[in-house]
Amino acid sequence: MEQALYKVTSAMKKLDVCRATIYRLLNRGQLEAVKIGSTTRITAASIERLITSSGKR
């Protein structure tokens, strides 16, 4: 079963991008996040949408 939320570092690894790019994608609305306390979690659905829309696999 795939996880529903990713830590920023896990999203970085999955997308093979740096931390700044993750936050840039969040600011542009290309990734969706949930705040849990002071931590940011990226939704798996938004990561998959980004991968699918960019043709990267």
Closest C-alpha among 35, 37, 44, 38 to residue 10: 44
CA neighbours within 13 Å on the CB side: how many for 23?
4
- What is this structure's pTM? 0.86
Contact 32, 42 (CB under 8 A): yes
In this predicted structure, what is the pLDDT of residue 48?
A: 95
In this predicted structure, what is the pLDDT of residue 52?
A: 93
In this predicted structure, what is the pLDDT of residue 54?
A: 82
Domains in the chain: how many in total?
1
Low-confidence ranges of the chain (pLDDT < 50): none
- What is the average pLDDT score of the chain? 93
SS3 call for 24: helix
Structure tokens at 8: 């920023």
Residue pointed to by tokens 């993750």? 22
What residue numbers bound the domain in which 27 lies?
5-54
